[in-house]
Amino acid sequence: MIKEFQYTFEELVIEKNHIEELLGFENSELPEPFPELIDIALKHAPSICNIRGGYKLFNPDEVSVGSENIRICNQFFYPSKIVKTQFKNAGSLVLFISTAGAEITEHSKNLSETGDPLSGFIFDVIGSVTVEKAADKMLQSLESEMQKSGLKISDSFSPGYCDWSVAEQQKLFALLPENFCGVSLSESSLMWPIKSVSGMVAIGSDMEHKGYQCYWCADKNCIYGKIRRKKKI
């Protein structure tokens, strides 16, 4: 089963505090000129985002989760123990992609190259928030769909995180339609548009969707992890 989605910026309900959080100003007063620049960017963002997403569900006879690997059809994935532990009781697996589109990245780059790097950075952050919100909304739809059959979904995991080699993006994309949701993959496993995410979700009666558990992850350079670990403390 394949499903695709398209969202407007307004549907994602992105607010100023979401941007402030990634800028590192949460719970503190924003210095000038950030408040005005964020307001301007949020008003302009809807016209330069092409927000899409989709997922493909693989049935029980197409998947297996073992102690050493995860198989989907003819592809074998070798994620970390963290991922395999969360997926161990999976009956089905889902691969997904979401993107904010190329336009917001191009706009951010253009601003930076024409003398307004601060606004360019703010648009870059908005692009990051947008694609994460789009993925969350899409997985909420998946969760609702699975609940009709009495099933639950796990947290999502992506190659490149939780000690899972980013090179396995190649296997993930090989199992999806070409240019799925307008997203392509380079030989070095980087997605285009840049503001895109992909990953895997497990389906089963014993799954648990807890949300981000960043203390599991050893990636100390991930801005999301830094913020969420700090908030947990």
Residue 215 clears pLDDT 70, i.e. is over it: no
Cβ atoms of residues 172 and 184 within 8 Å: no
Out of 84-93, 182-191, 193-202, which region has the weakest mean confidence (pLDDT)?
Answer: 84-93
Cβ atoms of residues 50 and 103 within 8 Å: yes
pLDDT digits (tens, 9 = 90+) for 75-104: 999 999 889 988 988 999 999 999 999 999
Expressed as residue numbers, the domain containing 136 is: 2-232
**DSSP-derived 3-state class of residue 153:** strand
> Could you tell me which residues come within 8 angstroms of residue 78 by beta carbon, excluding any fewer than 6 positions away?
68, 69, 70, 165, 168
Q: What is the signed CA dihedral for 104, 109, 182, 79, rounded to 10 degrees?
A: -100
> Could you tell me which residues come within 8 angstroms of residue 150 by beta carbon, excluding any fewer than 6 positions away?
205
CATH number at residue 85: 3.40.109.40
The whole-model pTM stands at 0.88
Number of structural domains (the chain) is 1
Of the pLDDT bands very low, low, confident and very high (cuts 50, 70, 90), residue 229 is: very low
Of the pLDDT bands very low, low, confident and very high (cuts 50, 70, 90), residue 230 is: low
